[in-house]
Structure 1
């Protein structure tokens, strides 16, 4: 057998990131997290070092590479790679390690920072997270195969994720088969208990799509709203949610994509490990290589089922009150031309309107500015509209 190779000593950071999704310092941090638990108790029979075990595990998690190829790269046997992966994953999955990287914050100062970051996107107040369900493909299991088939006829694990405005994962639930509806996962999660037992302060809420029930702590969009406050609310609600989902999917695909290569739904725990690695990369500002493989499927826009997604009158009433409080003064009169017709196309700013700009309180589309701005496709000025453009200053 070839001599064992510790690539930490021979590869540059850019090469490590391509192969392991972490740089040298990130890999060393993972090693220190599990070193005591995976170090061989004796020095007999030339034991495999914790560094080699972690490298084998990270390579498998990052790429799904065949264990035999992994063994050849590191100079150990394929059975040793298999044992190292199982041992390291079991240790990383321990609650005290997961909670170091994935925990929904309950302290007021942290929640205020999250709300401020979301507010800066498109003017949605009180948002402490975006919740979404994503289907991670798996190989068809041999037991209870039918419950893992989602509505797109693909075998998957339905994973619930909550993330903040900086795309850090705040909560991950990765144990439900693909046929399970998003709303059921939420109703049986610990997050629901946090809100309904008032562990989360009043005035904090999630944003979700129409597949979730509307609640006092979960704001969903109106279906087919007429021009007015409801439409004005829908634009930043949808833009904030979709902007976060799109960027989150792009940033996490480098880890999530290899889940499709796992043969068993019990490997859903690996998705929690991907969340750990993702948040570690965010904390350390580790850049990620581009990955064209996209094995995630969103189920946006599903109608909630009768048993778990029942619309609560209190949730609908709260949403109406929220809209009347924050968006009624920003809404244009019904029938006025130049109303926003969609989410902004570009970056978000304050005090400027036009194509792709969002302004304080709501998002501005083509032909409308907010709070005294100019309307149309060009720049906005305070209290005037550009000549020759169709629009209205509000």
Structure 2
């Protein structure tokens, strides 16, 4: 019986398969703006803008073999990122083959990173002043340039170093560090660390930490107790002993919650990040980076979920909560700076 199945399998490979060219759908002309947003997480104007930015990088030099138009490639990619569906389902929806869908998604994501990476930028100069003022209006915390935290994004089981990617919940994931501003824009991204790596180690190794150490940025970041207390990175008092330390913790927590809300908004918009990425870690990093760039683009163009305000207090899956065993790495300078801020601004 096995020999018969093997013969049939070889026979199918030898027989020529007819090429079928489907009549492709045109959602831009068929759907209204709100319907487009439900399916692709962007409205018509933003989709046209994205296509314009990546067109030269993804278009075919000829129309030979019914080459996929850049707009169709962009729609395939956005549909995949927005739903997190199997690529075969995305292929059937837009009437292309599964291999074509796979190539389009990779090609468009790479083009988005190549052409729009400037949308992820840490504030400096006048932008830094506006960010500080925006954070100050939330809960009165001074000189804040961003809120930092890590979120776990599930991935498929890797072929190499599998144990490194198992997080504390026992699933394979990437630990993705992000920093946000008061408008939920992501200003820094570090997405290539395995899920077992602690937040504080990612921060120690990232380039932004070196920039703060070298005095390039004049401001503060806010983190949870999983981060070390440094002169430029404020964490809460673990055991507040007086009123101004309690006020300090309250203000810090009310401000720092923006990064957790940013994770909720990002994963709500791009379901791929919520349900998990069925690909290798290297490819998952590309998808995550593309989603963050598109998230910032949507905020910059005012193309956001109508119900964003409704889930700013989103109680998401808990993967972003602070670790139970607090990181007690502190420095004398960091403690002194924290005490000065608590006494001067919250007494």
TM-score range, shorter chain: 0.7 to 0.9
Contact 2:184–2:262, Cα closer than 8 Å, also in 1: yes
Aligned: 1:237 with 2:252: yes
Distance 2:271 2:317 in 1: 5
1:81-230 correspondence to structure 2 within 5 Å: 81-94=101-114, 96-99=115-118, 101-107=119-125, 109-201=126-218, 204-230=219-245
Q: Hey, what's the Cα distance between the residues in 1 that align with 2:157 and 2:317?
A: 15
If the length of structure 1 is used for normalisation, what is the TM-score? 0.76
Distance in 2 of aligned mates of 1:63 and 1:147? 28
The structure whose residues are more often helix, as a share, is 2
**How does the TM-score come out when normalised to structure 2?**
0.86
What is the number of residues matched between the two proteins? 319
Query: What is the aligned-residue RMSD (CA, Å)?
Result: 2.0
Task: List alignment gaps of at least 5 residues for structure 1.
Answer: 329-394
Q: Residues of 1 paired with 2:261 and 2:54: CA distance?
A: 30
Asked if structure 2 preserves the Cα contact closer than 8 Å seen for 1:137 and 1:295, the reply is no
Residues 1:284 and 1:192: Cα distance change in structure 2 (over 3 Å): same
In structure 1, the residue matched to 2:31 is: 11
Q: How does 1:1-80 map to 2 (within 5 A)?
A: 1-80=21-100
What CA deviation, in whole Å up to 9, does each residue of 1:294-348 have, x standing for no partner? 567114145466xxx73211111111122222223xxxxxxxxxxxxxxxxxxxx
In 2, the alpha carbon distance for the partners of 1:21 and 1:250 equals 15
Contact 1:136–1:159 under 8 Å retained in 2: yes
Contact 1:257 1:293 in 2 (8 A): no
Misfit runs of 4+, over 6 Å: 289-293
CA distance in structure 2 between the aligned counterparts of 1:49 and 1:257, rounded to whole angstroms? 25
Mapped to 1, the partners of 2:216 and 2:100 lie a distance apart of 45
How much has 1:223 moved relative to structure 2?
Answer: 0.5
The alpha-carbon deviation at position 110 of structure 1 amounts to 1.0
**Offset of 1:18 from its aligned partner?**
0.8
In the aligned structure 1, how far is the partner of 2:22 from the partner of 2:29?
A: 17
Give CA deviations for 1:163-201 in whole Å, capped at 9, x if unaligned. Answer: 011111111111100000101111111111221111112
Report SS of the residue matched to 2:184: coil
Q: Which has the higher contact order (CA 8 A, sep 6+)?
A: 2
User: Within the alignment, does 1:271 sit opposite 2:256 as a pair?
Assistant: no
Alignment match, 1:324:
343
Whole-Å separation in 2 of the counterparts to 1:115 and 1:47: 48
Aligned CA distance change for structure 1 residues 289 and 82 (closer, same or farther; 3 Å): farther
Matching residue of 1:335: none
Q: Which residue does the alignment assign to 1:297?
A: 319
Q: Quote the Cα distance in structure 1 between the aligned partners of 2:293 and 2:232.
A: 26
